[in-house]
A and B are shown apart, each in its own frame.
Chain A
Amino acid sequence: MTEKNINLAISSSPHAHSGASVRGIMLTVIIALTPALLWGFWLFGWPAVVLTATCVAACVGAEALSRRLMKRNLGIGDGSAVVTGILLAMCLPPSLPLFMAVIGAVVAIVLAKQVFGGLGYNPFNPALVGRVFLTISFPFAMIQWTAPGPPPADDTHAVTAATPLAAWETEWSGQDETAGFFEEFPLVDLFFGNQAGSFGEVSAFLLLLGGLFLIWRRCVHWQTPVFYLGTVTLIAIILYGIDSQRYLSPAYHLFSGGLMLGAWFMATDMVTSPVTSRGMMVFGAGCGVLTMVIRVWGGYPEGVSFAILLMNAAVPLINRYTRPRVFGTSKS
């Protein structure tokens, strides 16, 4: 080997790499979402499939278009737009008119992500911004929940049904007799996903499975989901202990609404969550408190999206104040 025939590469150390990549992480998230997604497809049929396809296509399209307009290199290869599309679809009612889904997707990608500079610079979770935008803009369409199961053959319109949280808040809370609620919404149905709701949020069990997969693949740190779910449980236990007629039991809080999807897939979004271990704990606990405040006392039956978005805003502050003690410095 002589010096002439080689052209070496030089760079700063380290010269080895774990092989982790943004695309790999996004792929893992998609794999983790797949069981819950397929369950949603099975439960709600073609509308859910079409909705997901629309959201993903709209997200990728919006990303490609906006990046081209902003003269940035086409960054859709990292797969983050696909993940946003899937997450957005999963937290929408399956019967939502498709044009609304497209609006949500465009808002999520362009307004919540690209105007801030693209992946890595967005302060808020894009999918949640899209969802909240739709919730506020189309309040009626966003609560048209389809009853689980295939649509009746004779009617093009699907049967609508209430979600457990909405039913509790509007009909059952504070009643003397609440057994009817628990008959209408057996816990086991909620856990395994035989309930009305956003089509990707219904199966707590499959989302939990996906979440554990993410932890096993080290794509998610355990602190955020554990503290999120833990705080929700704790507050629910206290309230339930105070007045079990007025407040829903902890298990119902855990397994209904968007909590599982939110805790495992939205609150753990890397860009919009803290980077320190203690920060993730604070973040998770904060999300839990806000979720319960909105669920129990707020105007909406569900508060996961608002809770996470509010905590997103606090992330820079949390990062700053939960800095680990540097090796060799005193504790102060």
Chain B
Amino acid sequence: MKTRIAPYRCAGGLHPVYHKSLTAGAAVTALPLPSIFAISLAQHLGAPARPLVKKNETVGRGQPLAEPAGFISAWIHAPTSGKIKAIDEQWTATGRRATVITLESDGEDRWADGYPLPPLPADADRKQQIDRVAAAGIAGMGGAGFPTHVKLSPPPGKTIDTLIINGAECEPYLTADHRVMIEDADRLRQGIDRIRRLLGTCAVRIAIEDNKPDAIKAMEQALQSLDGDVELIVLPSAYPQGAEKQLIYSVTGREVPSGGLPMDVGALVENVGTAIAVTDALDSGWPLTERVMTATGSALTQPANLRVRIGTLFETIIEHCGGARIPPVKVICGGPMMGTALPSIAAGVCKTTSGLLLMPADAVHLFESTPCIGCGRCVMYCPMRLMPCTLSEAGEAEDDELLEAFRVLDCIECGSCAYVCPAHRPMVQHMKNSKARIALMRRKRETSRQRES
């Protein structure tokens, strides 16, 4: 085990105001078991899960509530024991509507029959272990929510030689991963070890930004006992350092090809929280029903790092944190750069919810977009080296040819361009809109081609 500075430097690199001191020193506390849960069936990337339970059914903790509906999808489990009150469409933490299972707790928090599952030793069959990861419903907890078992089973021909554990946490405000690395270093080490063994022989790189010296120290200590090619990489603090492609480049110098996956360059990135969920599933037999998140923002009375059950309502969390100190103007699920502004606080925590941010009027940037003045800042700060100003104008004009030629589909929606834009243009919304439109058109073109042939 050795520690070293990140050998490569990715493009862009914003230095937003981090506001992490609100919660960086606050130890993780467990939220008391709430009485109502709203469990979305679209918590992960891919197809929403299919419900397995009916209204008024009684369930135990860990009991599967929904099954994956496709290859890229995930199991969803009951966060506690209780009764299913409703299964209907609701607004969720993704800012969209999806099927939501409402669960009323019976307060007993009793495990379902057969749960927790028997632990699987490290020498158990590899497929059995990956099946367990799938059965535990683990999906990337950094934010994207890609089902982890899919990442762990690369198709034949692809080998993964580097496992990168993402502890960068470059989003302002959020400190959940930071606290987990300090407080849960041992479990994290176990999780890293389990993932590494599942992948076969591979190098392990734990990447942490240099604004978290205490986390670096804690991880250095915890990882001493891990043998093999293990390195702790200290990243310069810059946004979006923790974005998957940028992280892989900073650590290995490899560029994930446009339209490709990390496994195309032999890398696998797992978030700190995901690694812990993996050890929970394999060593303790727990399905993924809780996570650590940061409840913060200057509108919140008592910002905190909390261990919450999946499905806990944001209302409950706000109440637990002493309510709003001043009326929030924006409630954001996730961080301020890539999070989703929620239309209502009646939604529940998802597997991907890393934070809940209450912004008062003075922190919210309500904007009026004006024409681009060509300052070039977005071009300078784009970590993908795109030309966001051109793309945003082409998006407004729906000039799809130009959008594709200037590679709008490579945009990672990190928000750096919109953050620095003096004309306050909604760049990311332009990108999202253009990307969705082009993807739709490509699908249409594909289907019509298939029909013809």
CA distance A324 to B410 in the complex (A): 13
Contact A328 B257 (CB under 8 A): yes
**Chain B nearest CB: distance from A184 CB in Å?**
42
Chain B residues whose CB sits within 8 angstroms of the CB of A53 once the complex forms? none
Q: Are A17 and B258 in contact (CB under 8 A)?
A: no
Alpha-carbon separation in the docked complex, A120 to B17 (Å) = 28
Q: B370 near A8 (CB under 8 angstroms)?
A: no
Q: B-side binding surface: helix, strand, loop or mixed?
A: loop
Residues of chain B with a CB closer than 8 A to A272's CB: 374
B359 proximal to A (CB < 8 A): yes
A69 interfacial contact with B, CB 8 Å: no
Q: Are B373 and A16 in contact (CB under 8 A)?
A: no
Contact of A120 among B315, B343, B371, B413 (CB under 8 A): B371
Contact of A275 with B379 in the complex, beta carbons under 8 Å: yes
Residue of B nearest to A117 (CB): B371
Q: Which residues 307-345 in B have Cβ within 8 Å of A in the complex?
A: 315, 318-319, 323-324, 327-332, 336-345
Look across to chain A and name the residue whose beta carbon is closest to the beta carbon of B371.
Answer: A120
Whole-angstrom distance from the CB of A128 to the nearest CB of chain B? 16
* B371: A residues at CB distance < 8 A: 117-121
* Contacts A120-B370, A276-B379; A13 near B386 (Cβ below 8 A): no
Assess the A9–B341 pair: CB atoms within 8 A: yes
Judged by a CB distance under 8 angstroms, whether A51 is at the interface is: no
Docked-complex contact A15 and B332, CB < 8 angstroms: yes
Chain-A contact segment, one of B127-135, B214-222, B426-434: B426-434
Say yes or no: is B69 at the interface (Cβ < 8 Å to chain A).
no
Interface assignment of A25: CB less than 8 Å from any CB of chain B: yes
Please name all residues of chain B whose beta carbon is closer than 8 Å to the beta carbon of A325 when the two chains form the complex: 385
Encode A258-287 as 1/0 by CB contact (under 8 A) with B: 000000000000111111110010000000
* Contact of B415 with A14 in the complex, beta carbons under 8 Å: yes
Question: CB distance A324 to B387 under 8 Å?
Answer: yes
Q: Report the nearest A residue to B432, measured CB to CB.
A: A12
- Which residues 229-263 in B have Cβ within 8 Å of A in the complex? 245, 249, 255-260
Secondary structure of the A contact surface, majority rule: loop
Quick check: is A327 within 8 A (CB to CB) of the other chain? yes
Picked from A6, A17, A21, the residue with its CB within 8 Å of the CB of B419 is A17
B370-396 to A contact mask, C-beta < 8 Å, 1/0: 111111111110011111011000000
Bound together, the chains give a CA A5 to CA B343 distance in angstroms of 13
Q: Which of A9, A10, A276 contacts B376 (CB 8 A)?
A: A276
Query: B428 → chain A, closest Cβ, in Å?
Result: 5
- Tell me which residues across on chain A come within 8 A of B422, comparing CB atoms: 20-22, 24-25
Q: Which of A1, A12, A15 contacts B359 (CB 8 A)?
A: A15
Is the pair A328, B426 in contact by a Cβ cutoff of 8 Å? no
User: In the complex the two chains form, is B343's CB within 8 Å of A275's CB?
Assistant: no
Give min CB distance, B356 to chain A, whole Å: 12
Indicate the size class of the contact surface on chain B. 35 or more
B376 and A280 form a contact (CB under 8 A): yes
What's the least CB distance linking A74 to chain B, in Å? 13
Expressed in whole angstroms, the Cα–Cα distance for A21 and B375 within the complex equals 11
Which residues of A298-327 are within 8 A (CB) of B?
319, 323-327
Cβ of B327 and Cβ of A6 under 8 Å apart?
A: yes
Question: How far is the CB of B435 from the nearest CB of chain A, in Å?
Answer: 12
Establish whether residues B172 and A328, one from each chain, have CB atoms under 8 Å apart when the complex forms: no
Interface assignment of A67: CB less than 8 Å from any CB of chain B:
no
Tell me the complex Cα distance, A222–B10, Å.
21
Q: Flag if B415 contacts A327 (CB, 8 Å).
A: no
Interface residue B346 (Cβ < 8 Å from any Cβ of A): yes
Q: How far is the CA of A120 from the CA of B259 in the complex (A)?
A: 33
CA distance A153 to B256 in the complex (A): 74
List chain B residues, Cβ under 8 A from A323: 387, 406
Q: A78 — which chain B residues lie within 8 A by C-beta?
A: 370
Report the minimum CB–CB distance from A168 to chain B (whole Å).
Answer: 36
In the complex, which residues 18-35 of chain A have their Cβ closer than 8 Å to any Cβ of chain B? 18, 20-22, 24-25
**Cβ-defined contact, A15 with B374, below 8 A:** no
Once bound together, how far apart are the Cα atoms of A324 and B389, in whole Å?
13
User: A17 CA to B419 CA in the complex, in Å?
Assistant: 4
Can you give 7 A-B contacts (C-beta < 8 A)? A11-B330, A15-B341, A22-B422, A117-B371, A221-B380, A276-B379, A329-B257
7 additional A-B residue pairs with CB within 8 Å, beyond A15-B341, A17-B424, A328-B258: A1-B345, A3-B345, A3-B346, A8-B329, A8-B344, A14-B338, A277-B376
Question: What 7 A-B pairs come out closest when comparing CB atoms?
Answer: A14-B415, A120-B371, A12-B429, A275-B376, A17-B365, A16-B336, A20-B422
